[in-house]
Structures are given as C-alpha cells and as structure tokens.
Chains A and B, each alone.
Chain A
C-alpha cells in the first residue's frame, strides 16, 4: 500500500513539473538600463569611459577637485579665516580636528573611492579584449591616479617620510578591487610610510613606462595623464622623500641643462610667457583661461554641468562675495609681506583688496557659472623642485639652480635677476627657492607638503596655534568610521 502511494507521489511531482513548463532563463534577468560587471568593459568606448571615471573620482570636490588644495594651504600661514564656518575647514585651519570632523571623514572617503575605481578598472582590464598597447596605457593612467591618491592621503594622514621612528603611521594601501561583501577585506592595518612610498613609486614607474607620450594635443595633454606627468609627479614624491639625487634624475628627463627650459620629449612643457595665461584675471564677461596650455602638466577640468560642488572649489573659498564666500583671506603677515616680492610682479595682480582685506583671486570666477580648472602640477613646480634638489644634493650655490629660479621669477618679474654671487651660501639659495615656491604656488595646495617634508613647524596665525612636528595635529586623525569598521587600524598618537 505504502509503496503504491509513494510511486503515485513521484508521478504526481513529475507530472506537475512537466506541466509547469518551468522557464529557467527568466530567473536570470539582466538589467537593461545599467551596466553590470559582465558588460562594463566589453567595448573600447566603455573602457575609455571607465578610465575617465577614475579621473572623475579623483576630481571629487572633497578631494582633488578643490578641498585637498585648500586644506594644504589653510594649514599654512598664508591664510586667515573669515567665516568661522565648520563646513569650510575651520577646524583644519585652527588645528582642532577630531576623528568625527567632516573634513577628515569626507576626504578619506573620496580618496579611497577614487583608489577603488582605479583598482576596479585594473581588474576589468585584465579580461578586456582590447589590444595590449592600449590596455597598458590605460593601466598606466589607473596606476598614476592610484599613486596620486595614495600620496595625497599620506601627506595628510601619514607621518612625514623623514620621521623614521614613526614609519608605522602610514595609510592603508588598497591594491585590490573591492566590489562585494568580504569581512576580511575590512580589516586591513596601516602600511608603513616607506611601504606606501615604495608602492607609489612602483605605480609611477609603471605609468612612466606605459603612458602615452602625447595625448594627441589639446586639453587631453593636461587633463589626462601622460608620460611627462608621471615624471613630474615623481619629482614631487622624491622631494618629499628627501631623495634629491632621484629628483634630479627624474627632472632631467623633462628639463634641459640650460634655459630656455622646455621638455624635449613627450608633451613639450614650458613656462607660459605670462602667468595670466595660466590663471586668467577677473573680467566681465567672465572668460575661461587656457588652463590646459603648455605649462599645465596635470589639471582637473570643470564645466557648468560638472562642477566641484558647493563650497568645494578654490573659487568659493578664496573669492569674496559675489563670486565666492570669502572664507579665507591673505594673511598680511604671510608671504604677501615679503619685500623681495615686488609690487610690479605679475603675480601680485592676483591679490585683490576688498573691504580692507586682501583676497587671492587666482580662481576669480564663480564655480557655479564659469568654473575655473584646478591645476595639480605645473611646469614651474618641476623647475623649482629641480632647483632645490640640485642645491641640497651638491650643497653649493648651484648655477643651474639659479637659472631655474630666475626662469620662474623673471616670467612674472623681469626686473629681478638672481645671481650666483648674490647668495652667501647654499642655505641662502634654498631659502630663496622656498620663498619663490610660496609666491608662485599660493593657493595651489603645496604649502603643507613643503612644511612637513622639511620638518618645519606650522607657525601661529591669528587665533590659530603653532603646531610642531611632534604635535598631535601635525597629521590628521584616522576617521572614526574607519576605526569602527576596520578593527586592525591604529589611530595616530594623541587622538
């Protein structure tokens, strides 16, 4: 009896399934309005768009679209705070950060989001059917951006490279695509500062070998990475490492022995004759400048549909109303007080007095209508990097260094000429080079990097205190959300 029952049951089930006409393929629908990993790298155009997406991540207003430069400058002594607004960097400026502060959290999120985009693209390229040379170029771009991002994180969250006893306080190195749930991937300790630099250089070396020499002329020579951009970034990185011989080696690839200084291979970078070509002045009606001329090595572009975001761009912070919020104005006791910086110097034209305060108007337009591009690296920085490295490496008043210094100074101030004889010793020349950097790159996000790589103290300004290299606030705290989810990470001492 039971057996008959059981057989009947089996027949019942079989019959119902057949009758059901089960449609298995409907169980696997593919979305029609979004791209999924399986088809996101399938055509050359999609791969090109993915690579642009990495740039897009780096260009986030919380990252190299604006705030990174601002944080680096307001830590320095050139800017005083006007608005006491916690949303626009007040705690960065007056060194009262904690692990919950918005700057800390949002910057960390944006930087690692960009790094993950690079890693996701690198993973996708492995199975992409494009030709090898093109794949390697894209890999070069991804690794260039990954290196730039890790470096940017290091300059704020990590101890400086010269502080060898504290080498363990680097940042988290992320080299794998993070695309799904993986509890183990959450718990990753900080790599050592030296390890992070090693990876940055490895990425940049690969980039140098694989990036295009020339992105076809036009804006892409500045808005997309090319071989000379990797070399230029390396000069900055080696300078942070105090490896001056390497700075010289790298810079020599794109800087000739004598003036006129122009890169011989790859994109023919040279100084623009007029600084106003790089940073167009405020005129009405507003014009966009040639931000992507020969002096621009790497620049972040914006359009009216692709903006840095409210209160993220340099224009918003440094322009007084109505073009910006005027959160910061120039410290009268800062570099603007330097006597050697003549009033006839073309760069003085950026410093505009409004209602008794001097504002930096290098990005004069309102980010909402005609947004100004944000330069990341210019040729003049390579020249000054080389100059400083030459002097420090040889410990003499190097003639080529003086030539380089003159090239930068005389482009804006033809009446000043530096001579070898005019410098008492190597240190005097170094000091002048450092002053030139402060004048030339005012507002471009290099001040904090320079102070920290030299072991300097952030001097007091207005109500903001001084911070020595041993001070807690010399480096930024690891954000609370990272520490809550990444239990392997160690906070910077003092926080």
Chain B
C-alpha cells in the first residue's frame, strides 16, 4: 500500500533538449519551467537542458530575456527541442506601471521605457542626467557643467508656473525626494541612486498611465525599477571607468594688449582720455619682465579626472532572489574645486516562503559629497563672485598674484588689484577665492523597504509595502574675510544641517481573472499613506578672530541664525485600477485616485483617467489581408483623464500667519500672510491619442501619439486691492491656466541583423507648443527675473511661457556707429553714451526705449521640437553606440553676450575688435565708448541678444569590444568588455554663447533658456570595462 502511494507521488520523468535561437545557436540561461509550478531549470551555455518534471506536468514554458516566451505541450515526449524567436519588443516587453506591471501590448496609456544598459556607463553623477534624447515627450537637458547640478527635466513641456514642473520620481514604488538640497554647492538628491543599480525607467506621460499617482502626476511620473537577481547561477559583475573631463565651447576673450587698447579707445571716445594720473588702462610686466597676459579661464578651469567602480553579486533560484551591489565614484569637474564623491551599498532580497506567502525587502545606503564653489551658475547669474562670470569679465592685463607673490587684491575696493591700470577695475580675484573659500554639501541617504505578498483564494493577491527615504544633509560654507563676499562680515562660516524624512505604507489587493478564456479582468484597489517631515537649522558665524579659522566651529564674534525651517506634510490616498480586455484585442482601463493632502484646507481631491486600445492586427480581417505581410502590428489607443500637481507648495500653504516684528524696543506680532482656505491642487486634463505599428514582422516598429494638456487652477499670486491692506497685496489663489500640445513620434528598426553584423537604430521626435491662457485677475503680465535683476522673460496670456520680452534692435548705424532700437510706434532711435537718444532719420532728440513701453515678445523660449537618435552597431565582438540629441525651434536669451560686449571695465569677447570705427563700417558692434552699458544689452534687454537655440549634439559615443566567449571562459569569467566612451563630444549649432543647452535658471518654470554668466558644459572621455564572472 505504502509503496504504491510512494511511487504514485514520486513519479517523475526527465525531459531533455536543446534551446536554440533562430540562427541555430544554443541559447544559455533560458528558463525552462513546468507551467503552473515553480519547478524549472536553466539551459547550459550550449543551450542544452535537463529537467526533472512530475508525470502530471503538461506544459513546458521557455522564457528568456529578449525572446518571445514559448509554451510546448509535453505530451509523452522525453526530448523537446525548441527554437526561440526574438521577442516582439513592442508587444511582449514587460512595462512597469504604477503599482504593478503590464505587458506592452496591454498598455493603453502612454508609457515610454528606457532600459538600464543605456545609462549604466555614462559618466554623470546622477541617472537623470543620462536620459537626454532617449524617450519621446521627455526633454532632459544639462544646465551647465557643474557637478551635482540637477538636470532640467520637462515631460511634455512646462506644467506649472509657481509650483514645480519636475516629474514625480518613484523608486521601487516609493515616491522619492528630488531637487537640489545643497546651498552654494549643488547637491542633486537623486545622485544618491547608483545608476548601475537601475534596471529600467518608465515614464508615465498621459493621464491614463499616471492617474494612479493622482495629485502629483501633472508633470509626468518617472518610475525607477532597481535590479533584482535573475534566475540561474549567481552572477558577479564588475564595472569600472576612468576618464577625464574638460569644458568646451569656450568663448575667446581679449588678451592684455587688446584689452588695454580698446578700453583706452573707449575712454578717448567718451571724451575722457587716459591721462596717466587718474584714468587709463596700462599693461604691466611680471617679476621677470614679461608682459602680464592672464588667461583667466586657466585659473578657473582644469582637466578633471574621475573614476567609478561598481561591483554586484546577484542570483536567484525558484524561491529566492538577491542582489548586492556597491559603488564608489570620485569625479572631478571641469572647474577647480568642483568634485563629486559617492559611496553606495545596496542589498535586496525576495523570498517565496511558500505558494501563498512571499517576502522581500531592500536596503540602500549612500553617502554623497559635493564639493562646490560659488559658480553663480544656477540662480546666481549676477553674483559678482560667481566663478562662471569671472573669466569673462576680469582684466587680462593683471594677474592673480602680484609681482611679490602675494594675491593681487585691492582691499580698499574689495576687488581685483589694479596692476598698472588707473581706471578702477571691478570683480574679485577667483584664485584667492578658490584657495580660501569652501563650499560643500554632504548627504547621507537611506532608502529601505520591506514588502510582503499573500496569495488569497479566488485569485486575489494582497501586497503590502512599507518604505522609508531618509536624507540628512550638511551644507557648509566658508567665505574668507580677506576678499570677496566674506569681507563685509570679516569672514563668515555657515553650517546648515537638515533632515528630510519620509515613510510610505502601501497596501494593495489585486484580482485577476479570466472568463471563458475570452474576457480578462484585472482589478487593483489600494491605499497609501505618505508622511514627510522637513527640518533644518543652522547659523552663520561672522567676524572671525583670525584668518586661520575656516570652519564653523572656529572662533568668531558674531552669530546670526540661518537656514531654519520646520514643517511636515501627509498624503492619504485611495486608488484603484480596472483593466479589461476581450480576446486580447480590445483593451479598456480605468485608473482613479483619491488624495487627501495636509497642505490644503479642502483636503481631498479625486483624479482619474480612462483609456482604451484596439490591437487591430489581431483581427481576423487584418490577419487575412495581404498588407499584413508588411504591416505586421497595428494598435490604436486613446486616453483622457485629470491629474493634479502640488509639488513645491509650502506645507502650510492655506494658513494665515502672524509674524514677529519690533515696535521700538518691544516685540510685536502682526498679520503677515493672508492664507486661502480654498487653495487646492493645480489640475491637468490630459488627452492622448496614439497608434503603434510594426512593419515587416516588426523589424521596424514605431509609435505616433498626439497629446494635449489643459492645465487649470494654476496657483498664482492674485493681486488684491491695496486698500484691503492684505500683506503683500496678493493672496495665493488657483487662478491661471495653460495648455501644452504636441506630437510624439518614435521609430525603431533592426536595420541589419546578421550573424556578424547588426545595426539597430531608433529615433524619437517630439513637438511641443505651450500657451498661457489665463493669469491672475486682470491677466497682468508677469515679468520673471534672472538672478534677481534682469527681466528678459515674460509670462503673458496668449504666448508661450517664459518667452522673451525685449526691445527690438536693428544693428548699428553705419554712419555713426550707434546702436539702433525701434520704439513702439516704429521710430528708429539711436543711442550715444551717455544718455542720448536721437532719431535715426534726422538726429533730433527722442525719448529712449523702455521695456514697459516698447518691448516685443520673442518666443517661444521652449523648444518647438526635440528628440534623439540612437544607433547601435555590432560587428563580431565590437559594439558602437551613438546617441544624438537635438532640439530647436526656440530662442535663447544670450545675456552672457551682453556682458561680453560691455564697455565698462569688463573684459570683452574678441568680436569687439570688429567694432565700428569710421563712417561706412558695417558691423554689429557699436562705437566703443567707455561706460556704455546700454548698447550691449546690460542696461536694457535687447533683441540683439536673443538668438536661435537650435542644436544637434552627439551626446554619447561609445566603442566597445567584448572578448570572445571561448577566450574568456578559459580564465573563468563569463564576459569582459572594454570600451571607450565620450559624453558631449560634438555640438553643432549657430548659437554664439557657450552652449544653447545652458539654463541659468535651472528648472525654473517662468524663465527657461536664459544664458546669463553661466559656466559651459563639459566634455568627458572615459575608458571602462565590464566584467562578468
């Protein structure tokens, strides 16, 4: 009896076979499993396998990354060979959507995917910098070459005016902090995530896909999935690169003799010629008698070296998968004193306890150290000590040191030493500032989560996940009392310590059911709570007792509080998704979310989106038609929904406040902020219609989509009647509206697929058009300042946000060398310094132009079109990858050019040597008159400095060689690849500034594409290797 039982239950059989690809080559690491069980194995390197399966097993499933899954009935066969076909990328790919995954064919929203391999080896500090040009609808640009600076990320245009337009970043299901937590030294909080740990990035763009994130989804959602162990033997990977980086696109400025000559010419033309006693510019010689001719770029820029090491070990069996990785990076930037170091460690483990219960978790620690400097690059465009500006403006006929070896500084005026110049010089000496000042931002971040899953009966799965994201940062600054910004304080050291702490707890129930094998239904319901506290405090210690002290903890006589803030916010949500498909041809999906957020008085809002899709190519009529040989796949989909935005709003936004003051010597309290209990989310209604197609058996695949976002309830300062006496005479109100519309096209092709040579290419192209449709009461224009001073950008109803508002100029009058401007009535007027505006026609006096009266709008500042073109070539063991990033159709405000033509004591670009000197000269540089800061566009914002911002860049090139497998396995490794890569190697543009990608205002919504005294971008060349064990 027992024996019979035993044999009945232990009856197994062995099935063997070989798995090959469509060329007949053996495929290693293919997972062969018994369908419906966890019994399985993986194929050997030559493609053969041997599986012990129970006799009741019916079907074998063969799956492998990049290949279509195949299922074969076992029947009574003992040997099953199979040939796997490359997977239909567009349809079988697994796509991560909010709180779950779907197959690409089922996705009816608009989701773009970027695979890990694309970003693993790019020499950036943070993964978001490597995403340019990789997905349609997503424009990511680098604002400058400073390490640690967050990139400018725009998903389908700019989606807010007062709040943030940066997408929601979700890492492994936990919404993460983003943005810059540093002070003067930039510290992009996302740089704590090791790019090599990322498996894939999905970007949810339309309402149907992103509505599951409800009130935070208006600017799109970036879903980051980190790597997990893969079935099969344990893999160990070591990736490393080392390289160097330099600035490129440097603008030539005058040398000492040219500078001296032209400044003196300016003095003569101003009627105040050099007189050898109080006025004039003169060269000097150094201690060896050589002419002092300083290239200030050399004093500020350098060739920076960097290295990055990444090691990981991972593996999985049927029950458990694990992944352990560590990363060390030490990068020097193109600027002296700009460094980035990061150490991360990550461990994840998932374990299937039994068929019902599984458990998992991950722990990620990172420490990033950003050493920075006052670059004046993002937000500090007019900082007089901004290192971005100094090489452009400092006089070349003096040097960083005096002939006696001490620093060349003028203590009476706190600027660079005069040398032999008699006319006053301005600006500070960057060498002493770089030597003595210190700016750093260091952060420790822990991201951890623990999750569990229970398979309940009737096809319901319960999943719970609890995660934390804790960031501690310390921003330190020291400004020396000898020179620069620290002089007014006698030396000042500032420390600010802050903590951002967040916990998130999600619970979901997922129900999947098929009926009659025709109807497939999936239902997800869940709740999520997210609680964040923000606390920072610090102080500025002033008047140091001795120049020796350069740390906060030294000896100072004064102290002033700085950087204090304390707040919290809480988000409570209920969400759900229903997906239904009929015969895998017709798909419907609804996502909805109800969010309650603590910063609003009206706590709750409802968001949702619906979408539908039709896979036309599954229809019988299609399959039987003759064009289906050519058009192999066709899917049409559309979606509509409403999502919200509150990112960037204060945690107590709706409250009214009373703030402190003084009456004589006594403390007082007074009403200081009028709150708005009606304040609520900005809303975005998104429409998206698209079609996906495949040609020639999906050798070419593509997608075309049209999108339109109607953004409403933009939070703006609504002006109040001053007689109401409301503080600030404005109340934050949901009152503005804006539209974004465009088309996304992407095309991928396996152009050549041969045994030895492959070439695949994919191109994406996006158009965008933005229009502001209403502002606060009265629709008054909003002028947006750069660096707090100049206002070249305007937000006006009927125009694209942040377009330029400039006085039109028409070059230089050849008769007299004066800059010509055009007044609002068409009169052309010309400027003679100082202060004289006359009509061009007859020389009679005229009023001068002013921005308020005569400016015209030049727009858009946002690119009308952008995209990328990615090419992968493989020849035997060699691989080449080229990514081209292009953008254009917009204007860029080249404020730096204005500074480079300024006729005060600032240095100029070499183009001023082509200035007007005599009647008949045709040039666009006016007659050089010392002190003139109007003709160049410093005193007035002029159209002369608005240029087209079109460019094509080769963003990445990499050339690699993978050693042949036979050679490698002899030394016990599984693969080695060597490569050399370049970041930003080539740029093609007509823009005359450093680089048209520059944004002095970073992610600011109202003032894009402004280049004012920024630093250029960097080109990096690195050599690396990837080793697999």
Residues of A within 8 A of B (CB): 8-9, 12-13, 15-17, 19-24, 26-29, 31-37, 40, 46, 49-50, 52-57, 59, 105, 108-109, 112-117, 119-120, 172, 174, 178-181, 183, 185-188, 219, 223, 301-303, 305-306, 479, 481-482, 484-486
Contacts and interface: CB of A to CB of B under 8 A. Distances in A.
Contact of A482 (B572, B668, B676, B722): B722
B407 interface: no
A54 B670 CA distance: 7
Contacts of B656: 36-37, 179-180
B661 A53 contact: yes
A91 B1005 CA distance: 38
Contact of B662 (A27, A219, A305, A479): A305
B787 interface: no
A26 B533 CA distance: 11
- Residue among A19, A35, A53, A116 with most chain B CB within 10 A: A53
Given A54-B670, A181-B718, A112 B566 contact: no
A333 to B, nearest CB: 33
Nearest to A37: B656
Interface string B612-656: 000000000000000000000000000000000000000110011
Contact of B460 (A12, A108, A223, A482): A12
B598 A17 contact: no
Nearest to B576: A13
Interface residues of B, number: 68
Contacts of B778: 484-485
B662 A306 contact: yes
- Residue among A12, A22, A306 with most chain B CB within 10 A: A12
A33 to B, nearest CB: 5
Contacts of A15: 509
Contacts, number: 207
Contact of B671 (A59, A179, A479): A179
B725 A22 contact: no
B525 A20 contact: no
Interface in B652-684: 652, 655-671, 674-678
B755 interface: no
Interface string B475-511: 0000000000000000000000000000001011101
Contact of B670 (A12, A53, A188, A303): A53
A180 B724 CA distance: 10
A186 B720 contact: yes
Closest 4 CB pairs of A and B: A116-B725, A53-B670, A301-B664, A20-B527
A29 B668 contact: no
A29 B651 contact: yes
A23 B570 contact: yes
Interface in B764-814: 777-778, 780
B569 interface: yes
Nearest to A304: B665
A26 B677 contact: no
Interface of B is mostly: strand
A485 B670 contact: no
B413 interface: no
Given A16-B507, A20-B529, A56-B662, A35 B669 contact: yes
A16 B724 contact: no
A52 B663 contact: yes
- Residue among A52, A115, A301 with most chain B CB within 10 A: A52
Contacts of A19: 464, 507, 527
B719 A53 contact: no
A412 B716 CA distance: 58
A32 B566 contact: yes
B724 A185 contact: yes
A192 to B, nearest CB: 16
B670 A306 contact: no
A36 to B, nearest CB: 5
Given A112-B722, A485-B720, A12 B668 contact: no
B669 A486 contact: no
Contacts of B311: none
B722 A13 contact: no
Interface string B830-869: 0000000000000000000000000000000000000000
Nearest to B570: A26
Contacts of A479: 722
Nearest to A115: B725
21 contacts: A12-B523, A13-B525, A13-B574, A17-B527, A22-B529, A27-B572, A29-B569, A34-B658, A37-B658, A40-B669, A52-B663, A112-B723, A116-B724, A181-B676, A185-B724, A305-B665, A306-B662, A479-B722, A482-B723, A485-B719, A486-B721
A116 B725 CA distance: 5
Interface stretch (B208-216, B727-735, B926-934): B727-735
